Structure formats: structure tokens, C-alpha cells
Amino acid sequence: MLSSEEILKIISTEIEKLNAPKAPEGLYLPIKYTLTLSGKRIRPLLTIAAFQMFDNRIHKAIPAALALELFHNFTLLHDDVMDNSPVRRGEPTVHKKWNENTAILSGDAMLIEAYKILAKSEPKYLPKLLDIFNKTALEVCEGQQYDMEFENRNDVQISEYLEMIRLKTSVLIAACLKIGAVLGNAEEEICEKLYDFGIEMGLAFQLQDDLLDTFGTEAQFGKRIGCDILEQKKTYLLLKAYETADEMQKQKLNTLFLGGNISEFDKIQGVTTIFNELKIKEKTMELIEQKHKNALSILNTLKIDEQKKQILYDFAEMLMNRQK
């Protein structure tokens, strides 16, 4: 069994290989640029981690692992255009560094490249892989659509938010695990359980992200703290705050968001103060803890060697304690 570090090293080498120069540069350079920005590579790591629970010839899982990482990076590229985000992982986004047309077209090519690499998987698994991949990819688009629609709605429910992040974030993490297991020829039931484990972990991951955006430290999180507040993003934190706030707190929140004369600093401070009054941090951590527990109990019922599962326990633990 390879350790996470060993797997990540292999992924890094393989991504390097993808980045050979191709013409026209205007199309392929932005793909290389996007792939080179230092991501966490969580998705291919999970694919290979799941695969090696059943088979140690990990070269068999590499095309699918890379395809999933490419797909993830494609979604970031296009999402950044749609959200008009200027920075990603500390560097200018493709539509800022080049232009919007480049971001659209290179993103399209990146999605096709993902399929191209996926198709290098063992032919007998292709129908199943495509089935999972296509379903997941469409769900991720659906999640992004809901996310954009929520911006213009003032009646988003917490249940809707959780469904949105399930689509936008969890299903891909779940698919990575399931695809790894499918390629490892695992039983159907095991594949499904790994998928369900991924859903719970994905939700915990995204909720953690929401939490760090307000309660993290800039040095560790790597992004400016309070962005979600400034953008009035309907995260779990904000929805929970509105759900539990009394009339005065609600009015304060509204004033902070609508008031034109409030500095960014004061806005972040003001909203965070109300979050603190309402114990939003604790409530979010509670929900994260619950998702984490759900994930672990699914993992516990998985009929595989405890030792083989260790990498997934470690992964769950790591996500729970992450500060970035």
C-alpha cells in the first residue's frame, strides 16, 4: 500500500507528463497553467486510494484519476469566468491573465481532454466509468446553476443549500472513490458505500470551507478572510444565522449588507459579531462533526481489511483538522 505522499508524488509526475507543449499554444497553454497552479490533488488521491484497497497495480487507476483532476480544474476555470473571480490559488485566473474567450475555449478543451484520458482506462470498465463520470459531471453543472440562482434569491433554505453543495462538491469526491473501487473490481455494494462515504466527507469539506472563510486565518487559509460575507454569499453560516436570529439581529444583518456607507472591515466585523452571538461557528462545527460521524460509520460497515481502510480514516481525520 502506498502512502498519501507516495500517491501524490505519482500524480504530480503524471500531471507533468500531460503538460507537454501542444499547438495552438493559445488553446493549450491556459490548460497547462491551470493544472500547474498548486491544487491539493484530493480527487485523484482518493481515486487511487480507493483503487489500492482492491488492487495494487495502481497504473490501472491513473487515467481515471487524472481525468477526474482535469475535470475538477475545468470546472474551476469556467466557474471563475462565471463568478468573475480575479484570483485562484494566489495567481490571476485564466480569463484575467488571457481573456474570457480563451477561458471558455480552453475550458472546453480541458473537459474534452478529461474524457480523452478517461478513455485510456481498461475497455471493459469504460461503460461503467462513463456512466458515473457523465452523471457526476452533469450534477456538478446543476450545482453551479443552483449556486448562481441562489445569488438572486432571498428565500434559500438550508436544505437547498446542502443539496447545492452536495451537487457542486460532494458528488465529484464521491465519484472519485467509486471510480477507484470500480476499477479495482470491487463489489457493487462496496462501491456504493464508498460513494456514500464520499458524499458525507464532501459535505464536511465544503462546510469546513465556509467556516474557514470567516473563522480561519489568512496565513493558513491562503485566501482573504471574510470574502463570503462581503459577497453576501448564502453559505450555511449566513443561512443558519438568519434562521436563528431574533428580529433585532436580523435587522442588524440587513443593515450591514444593505448599508452603503459601511467599510469592508466593519461589515466583516459586524457580521462576525452576530455570528458569534448566535454561536454560528459552534453550530457549523456540530454539523461538520455530524457529517464526519456519518462518514466514519459508513466506513466502519465496509467489509474490507481495517488496515486497508486506514488511508480513508486518515483522510477523514485530515479534513476535520484542516486549516486551509
Q: Which of 111, 268, 271, 312 is in the footprint of a copy of itself by CB under 8 A?
A: 111
Quote the CA–CA distance of 159 and 40 in Å, as a whole number. 28
Q: Which residues pair with 91 in a beta bridge?
A: 88
* Residue 112 makes contact with a copy of itself by CB under 8 A: yes
Q: What x-and-dash track marks residues 67-96 binding a copy of itself by CB under 8 A?
A: -----------x--xx--------------
- Extract the C-alpha cell encoding 120: 485510456
Quote the CA–CA distance of 146 and 128 in Å, as a whole number. 27
Q: Which of 2, 27, 37, 227 is in the footprint of a copy of itself by CB under 8 A?
A: 27
Residue 37 or 130 with smaller CB distance to a copy of itself? 130
Q: How many angstroms separate the Cα of 224 from the Cα of each of 71, 216, 220, 268, 280?
A: 26, 9, 10, 11, 20
**Distance of closest approach, residue 29 Cβ to a copy of itself, in angstroms:** 11
Quote the CA–CA distance of 204 and 41 in Å, as a whole number. 17
Q: Which of 18, 37, 130, 304 is in the footprint of a copy of itself by CB under 8 A?
A: 130
DSSP at 154:
S
Quote the CA–CA distance of 264 and 284 in Å, as a whole number. 24
* Residue 149 makes contact with a copy of itself by CB under 8 A: yes
Query: How many chain residues touch a copy of itself (CB under 8 A)?
Result: 35
Residue 81 or 203 with smaller CB distance to a copy of itself? 81
**Distance of closest approach, residue 187 Cβ to a copy of itself, in angstroms:** 21
Contact between residue 134 and residue 115 where contact means Cβ atoms under 8 Å apart: no
Residue 29 or 177 with smaller CB distance to a copy of itself? 29
Which span (60-68, 110-118, 242-250, 278-286) binds a copy of itself, by CB under 8 A? 110-118
* Residue 18 makes contact with a copy of itself by CB under 8 A: no
Give every CB contact of residue 227 below 8 A, 6+ residues apart in sequence: 213, 233
Number of C-beta neighbours around residue 159 at 10 A: 9
* Residue 156 makes contact with a copy of itself by CB under 8 A: no
* Residue 41 makes contact with a copy of itself by CB under 8 A: no
Q: Which residues pair with 88 in a beta bridge?
A: 91
Cα 162 to chain center, whole Å?
A: 14
DSSP SS3 for 88:
strand
The residues of the shown chain that bind a copy of itself, judged by CB under 8 A, are 23-24, 26-27, 78, 81-82, 101, 104-105, 107-109, 111-113, 115-116, 119, 123, 126-127, 130-131, 134-135, 137-138, 141-142, 144-146, 148-149
